[in-house]
Amino acid sequence: MKNVFVEFVTLVAIILVIVELGESFSCDDAKNQISPCVSYVTGQGGNAPSSECCNGVRTLAAQTPTTDDKRAACECLKAAASSVPGIKVDLANSVFKQCGVSLTFSISKDIDCKTIS
């Protein structure tokens, strides 16, 4: 009886880990996290991204550990960038670096997300 209980608890733990891993990236969350960066990437937010922007970028980086996650985030931000008028390419390309975060893509409506690794 004790072995059955241990096996059951182990199975439940494995299922919970799988469910958690499957929920690592959400496009809506990514857009919300990056939204404080809009004023910076449109040239209306000063010489550097705000702390709220950088906090969002750090959270996004933490939620995109795999190539698939990064590609999904790239596609999400590409779509979001298409709906924001006046994005300055140089600022959008620098926002992650300005925040001290290394991501292999930028906030751009023209990026090819399939090349992200």
CATH number of residue 79's parent domain: 1.10.110.10
* Residue 2 lies inside a defined structural domain of this protein: no
In a domain, 88, yes or no: yes
Binned at pLDDT 50, 70 and 90, residue 108 comes out as confident
Q: Is residue 18 part of a domain?
A: no
For residue 17, pLDDT over 50 is answered with no
Per the structure, how many domains does the chain have? Answer: 1
Distance CA 106, CA 60 (A): 12
Please indicate, yes or no, if residue 8 is contained in any of the structural domains: no
Residue 106, pLDDT above cutoff 70: yes
Q: How confident is the model at residue 1 (pLDDT cuts 50, 70, 90)?
A: low
Task: Identify whether 39 is part of a domain.
Answer: yes
Do the domain assignments include residue 20?
no
Question: What is the span of the domain harbouring residue 109?
Answer: 26-115
Give domain status of residue 67, yes or no: yes
Cβ contacts of 67-72, under 8 Å, gap ≥ 24: 67/116, 67/117, 69/24, 69/25, 70/103, 70/104, 70/105, 70/116, 70/117, 71/113, 71/114, 71/116, 72/25, 72/27
Q: Is residue 19 very low, low, confident or very high in pLDDT (cuts 50, 70, 90)?
A: very low
